Every structure is written in structure tokens, then in C-alpha cells.
């Protein structure tokens, strides 16, 4: 991926690109680099156009790509949502004559750069058109990176910008952003502004400035529940309520995390590795790695009992039984009481 960016920056441009994945940072940076390498500010107005294939036919896109540039050497045409390359269902009623696209791919206009952006995890490899475009286009993987990939992305940005940031600080950034590269890069820009004078980002800076996502707060909340740290768990919960998070949503996310712990416990017993479990459950490997640590604090029977109680609380909240905001508090006290009884036996 970074190698492709270097080619673009060096002016080695392809006639057709296919960006596949859901990581916005990679998608947007790739588009920006192609635009910067192809058009100056004056040319942008006349030689850049962006289509959504949910609303526009491929015929119109190709017509634009085959139009000669106006006051410039290159024309950039971006076409988002090429659902005809995927298994995704669409409500679009636009008819696409993909035979025309097949013909264009065999002989693309040398004065145009056609960029397809498919915000999906994978394409439909069975389709003839998918196979053809993968042969003829330069493929840009915009997929969410694994832990090693995430660290590499951050380290590369740090090196390019001549900052310093050690690996524990990068890993903490990854933990607080849930391994989401787009969020992490936005937070990193904030860190760089804050530490512009020293050009060194420390783990304390990450802790101070990174805004925790709801998911990260839930993860931290589970840690406090595991430790039976009632005071800390309630502090996090009350902070979430102050942020206008709905109690039903908070409890649903807690239940979702406990469900993941249960699934990991079962798969581990069946001999699955963390990587295999991530693939089977379609969960990011980083989330599986962190959840596996949490799962070790419970027996499978305990997790099943907790899930049953959480489903009962969910039903109570949705049916209007009792005070919604107090349900989590009672759940904590019940769990604490069970733990105390277990230790006294």
C-alpha cells in the first residue's frame, strides 16, 4: 500500500484504480495523492468529477472518462459504490451496461484516471467483471490493518513528520481508538499539534488527549466489572450518561462484549487460535486479542449466567419495568455479591 503511494507521489500513475475497503483514511489519502500528482488548483474545476454509481450509470462515468481534458493534461473521474463488483444488495434502480466497462478496461483513455471506490470488505470474485478489473487496474487495499499493520502506519507517519513516539505509546493509541486507523490518524494530528515544540509524543499525552470511543469506554467498563471495582465502573457509567448515552444502548454493548467473551471461550475449548476465532466471528483480530484476556477471568458457566441476566435486564428496560438508569447499578451489585459468595465458599 505504502509502495503504491510512493509511485503516485513520483508521478507513476495508472489509468484505472480500484480502492477496496472501509478504512476512510486510506481511501481519502489515496484520492488526495492522485489528485495532487495529476491536477493543479486551476485544473481541478474543469478536470475532476466524482460520481456515485447508486445514482449514475456507468455509461455516464465512461463518457466523462473519454472526454478530453480541458486546459490540462489529465482528467480524474471517481466512481463510488460499484455494487456490480460486489455481493452487496442495492435499492438503486440504475441500469449499468457493464459490457462498455469491460471494453474500456481493455483500452482505457491515456489522458484520464478512472478511480473506483468500493467501500466493502471484499468483492465478488466469481464475476467476470471483477476478475477483469483486478487484472487491468491498480488495486489499493483500504482494509482495516491488523496490530502489526497499525503500528507500521503510525510509525511511518511519525518518521515522515520527524516526530518521535515509542511503541508503548502507539499501542496505547491503538487501544484507545479500537484499532480504527482513521480515528487514530485524526487523534495523531491532534497530538502533533499539542507536542509541536518537542516533537515527541509520550504515552501520557495519548492518555490526556485521545477521546475514548463509546466502545473503548465499554471495554474499560468490562475491565472494572471483572475486577469488581464498583466505584470505577460506576464512574465510567455516570460519565457515559452525562454524555447523553442511552442506558439501553450501554447495556446492549455490555451484553455484546460478554457474548463475544462467551464465543471466544467456546472456540478456545474447540482448539481455535485467536486469529481463527477472529476470522470465524468476523471480528477484528485486535478486539479478539483484548477480549481473550477478559474471557480468562470467567468460567463458561459464569458467562452464560451473566448473559441470561443481561437479556432479562434488556427485556425489563424495553418494557418500561423499573428505572432504566438504575439497572446497571443493580447488575453491578448482583455481580459483586455473587463474587463475594464464591470467595467465601
Q: What is the pLDDT of residues 293-323, one digit of tens each?
A: 888 888 888 888 889 999 999 998 888 888 8
Q: In this structure, what C-alpha cell is assigned to residue 194?
A: 499539542
| pLDDT of res. 92 | 80
Domain ranges within the chain, ordered by starting residue:
2-141, 147-209, 214-344
pLDDT of 343 strictly over 60? no
Diameter over CA atoms, the chain: 83
pLDDT of 291 strictly over 50? yes
Q: What is the mean pLDDT of the chain?
A: 89
Residue bearing the bigger pLDDT, 4 or 341: 4
Q: Residue 80 in contact with residue 49, Cβ under 8 Å?
A: no
Q: What is the pLDDT of residues 239-251, one digit of tens each?
A: 888 888 899 999 9
Q: Residue 298 in contact with residue 264, Cβ under 8 Å?
A: no
Q: Residue 172: which residues within 8 A CB-CB, separation 6 or more?
A: 203, 206, 207
Helix (H) or strand (E) holding 284: none
Q: What is the pLDDT of residues 242-281, one digit of tens each?
A: 888 899 999 998 999 899 999 999 998 898 888 888 888 8
Determine the topology of domain 2-141 in CATH: Rossmann fold (3.40.50)
| pLDDT of res. 339 | 63
Using CA atoms, how far apart are residues 187 and 314, in angstroms rounded to an integer?
Answer: 34
Nearest alpha-carbon partner for 297 in 234, 198, 251, 228: 228
pLDDT of 282 strictly over 90? no
| pLDDT of res. 340 | 62
Mean pLDDT computed over 178-184:
88
| pLDDT of res. 206 | 93
Q: What is the pLDDT of residues 37-92, one digit of tens each?
A: 999 888 888 999 999 999 999 999 999 999 999 888 999 999 999 999 998 888 88
Best CATH choice for the domain 147-209 from the list 3.30.1360.120, 3.50.50.60, 1.10.10.10, 1.10.8.60: 1.10.8.60
Domains 2-141 and 147-209 share a fold: no
Determine the topology of domain 214-344 in CATH: Zinc Finger, Delta Prime; domain 3 (1.20.272)
- For every residue of 18-42, DSSP letters joined together read EEESS-HHHHHHHHHHHHHHH--HH
Q: In this structure, what C-alpha cell is assigned to residue 99?
A: 459490457
Q: pLDDT tier at 345 (50, 70, 90 boundaries)?
A: very low
Among 81-90, 125-134, 135-144, the range scoring the smallest mean pLDDT is 81-90
Mean pLDDT computed over 229-235:
88
% of the chain exceeding 70 in pLDDT: 97
Amino acid at each position: 500500500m505504502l509502495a503504491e503511494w510512493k509511485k503516485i507521489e513520483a508521478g507513476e500513475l495508472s489509468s484505472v484504480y480500484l480502492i477496496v475497503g472501509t478504512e476512510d483514511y486510506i481511501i481519502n489519502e489515496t484520492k488526495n495523492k492522485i489528485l495532487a500528482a495529476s491536477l493543479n488548483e486551476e485544473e481541478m474545476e474543469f478536470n475532476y468529477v466524482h460520481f456515485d454509481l447508486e445514482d449514475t450509470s456507468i455509461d455516464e462515468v465512461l463518457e466523462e472518462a473519454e472526454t478530453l481534458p480541458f486546459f490540462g493534461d489529465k482528467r480524474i473521474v471517481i466512481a463510488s459504490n460499484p455494487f456490480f463488483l460486489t455481493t452487496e444488495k442495492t435499492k438503486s434502480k440504475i441500469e449499468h451496461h457493464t459490457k462498455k466497462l469491460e471494453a474500456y478496461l481493455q483500452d482505457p483513455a491515456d489522458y484520464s484516471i478512472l478511480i473506483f471506490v468500493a467501500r466493502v470488505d471484499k468483492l465478488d470474485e466469481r464475476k467476470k467483471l471483477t476478475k477483469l478489473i483486478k487484472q487491468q487496474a491498480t488495486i489499493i487495499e483500504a482494509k482495516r490493518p491488523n496490530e502489526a499493520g497499525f503500528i507500521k502506519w503510525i510509525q511511518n507517519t511519525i518518521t515522515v513528520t520527524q516526530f518521535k513516539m515509542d511503541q508503548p505509546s502507539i499501542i496505547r493509541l491503538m487501544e484507545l481508538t479500537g484499532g480504527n486507523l482513521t480515528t487514530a490518524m485524526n487523534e495523531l494530528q491532534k497530538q502533533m499539534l499539542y507536542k509541536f515544540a518537542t516533537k515527541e509524543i509520550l504515552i501520557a499525552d495519548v492518555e490526556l488527549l485521545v477521546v475514548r470511543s463509546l466502545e473503548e469506554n465499554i471495554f474499560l467498563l468490562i475491565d472494572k466489572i471483572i475486577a469488581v471495582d464498583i466505584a470505577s465502573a460506576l464512574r465510567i457509567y455516570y460519565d457515559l450518561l452525562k454524555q447523553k448515552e442511552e442506558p439501553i444502548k450501554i447495556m446492549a454493548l455490555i451484553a455484546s462484549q460478554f457474548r463475544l467473551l462467551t464465543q471466544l471461550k467456546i472456540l478456545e475449548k474447540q482448539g481455535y487460535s485467536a486469529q481463527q476465532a477472529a476470522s470465524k466471528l468476523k471480528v477484528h483480530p485486535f478486539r479478539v486479542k483484548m477480549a481473550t484476556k477478559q474471557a480468562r477471568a470467567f468460567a463458561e458457566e459464569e458467562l452464560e449466567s451473566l448473559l441470561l441476566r443481561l437479556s432479562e435486564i434488556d427485556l425489563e428496560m424495553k418494557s418500561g419495568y423499573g428505572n432504566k438508569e438504575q439497572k446497571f447499578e443493580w447488575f453491578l451489585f448482583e455481580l459483586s455479591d455473587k463474587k463475594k459468595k464464591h470467595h467465601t465458599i
